[in-house]
Amino acid sequence: YTLPTPIQEQAIPYLVKGRDLLGCAQTGTGKTAAFALPILQWLEQNQETLSPKGVRSLILAPTRELAVQIGESFRVYGRYLKIKQAVIYGGVRPAIQIRALSRGVDILVATPGRLLDLLNQRQLRLDKVGVLVLDEADRMLDMGFLPDVKKICSAIPANRQTMLFSATLPSEIVKLSRNFLDDPVKVAVNPPSSTVDRIEQKVLFVDRENKSALLESILEEDKSIQRALIFARTKHGANRIAKRLSKIKISTEAIHGNKSQPARLQALEKFRSGRARVLVATDIASRGLDVDGITHVINYELPKEAESYVHRVGRTARAGSDGIALSLCDADEKSYLRKIELEIGCSLNVDQNHPFHSQSIANKKSGDRTSGSKNFSNGRGKKVRNSLTAHSKGKNKSFSFSRNHSSGKPANRKKNTKNQRVS
């Protein structure tokens, strides 16, 4: 970084002072550096001998891919520091991870499930943790990790510094912050709407039995699709799409929960390097995916949750580039489409310029359509506009986040400062 990104500029001054923080920012905003650099500085300024199985700073992430990316960022940022770190997640043999933790670590990046398993086996200790980061808290909530997170937090000293980052701030996350954070500062990135105009969003109405043929036609005929991220609703659906595209010589990889960690990392590397033109993913597996140069996002199946659509299409049009988002919609998905359009505050343009267009599905569409749906209307669309563009430079807001101190926080919780962290 030559200049700090908006989230870094707003968060770091508070974090180096030891304040708890509630941050609203998506992947691609420089969020990892915003919490990693203050942690590294604190560790460097407060060096101490590691205790066996001890952990000094803990970062929780919802997926293996995100945990690996965070671990790599810490490795790069702290390459000149004498700091020991480890990354643990499910899908690999625990013996290797147990060995890495045996002598203690300064930084531990972990997924909640594997961390709790090792904690229950007494293979690590959290009584020396001075800094806790909950990254992508909204996704951890969606994936059902909240009970695990609560158990983990109960094993960490109350006088820690805690940071909670989330792409969105629904009421559940606000409630979560009241339980885990002590008088936090709230930092939110609020970029301008112009970046949204770089995402061209279209819907293609097609009968379900013709979806595969339509997808193949799009990828074979449109040479502007240099790097495409395709979303499927299920693991098996992602596999079927990848196999079918591979049969017609379209270089394709797939990532989902059933893939082993080495296979997932290999697929991501092929996609990043350009050896794979297409990556097929489920919503959960793609969370934390940070790949530049994605020209197209294709929703082979529309998500049931409208907010997932926002996360999906936000993978393209990064760093000032243009992007295209295509949604293949069959008759059974009309209700999902309606929810999406209500969420973003506008109707998607209909693309009829393909051989599988279904006019009968199009005719069932309710409501008026706009001719230029790159632009978002006010109301609900404003929220989505902010979410879609959270990866770009923009305006920021930072303000104290007040809370009710009688909301069940531990009575012995101290105000966080650098000097009061566990040492």
pLDDT tens-place string over residues 151-178: 999 999 999 999 999 987 777 888 889 9
Closest to 318 in 3D by CA, of 296, 340, 341: 296
CA distance 114 to 124: 11
Q: What is the mean pLDDT of residues 358-386?
A: 55
Domains of the chain: 6-191+391-420 (3.40.50.300), 195-379 (3.40.50.300)
pLDDT at 320 over 60: yes
Among the ranges given (22-26, 72-76, 230-234, 333-337), the one the predictor scored with the smallest mean pLDDT: 22-26
CA distance 304 to 142: 13
Instruction: Evaluate whether 66 touches 40 at the Cβ level (below 8 Å).
Output: no
pLDDT at 367 over 70: no
CA distance 384 to 390: 10
Instruction: Evaluate whether 201 touches 325 at the Cβ level (below 8 Å).
Output: yes
Q: What is the pLDDT of residues 177-223, one digit of tens each?
A: 999 999 999 998 854 333 356 799 999 999 999 999 999 999 999 99
Among the ranges given (2-16, 105-119, 350-364, 382-396), the one the predictor scored with the smallest mean pLDDT: 382-396
Instruction: Evaluate whether 53 touches 218 at the Cβ level (below 8 Å).
Output: no
Instruction: Evaluate whether 224 touches 322 at the Cβ level (below 8 Å).
Output: no
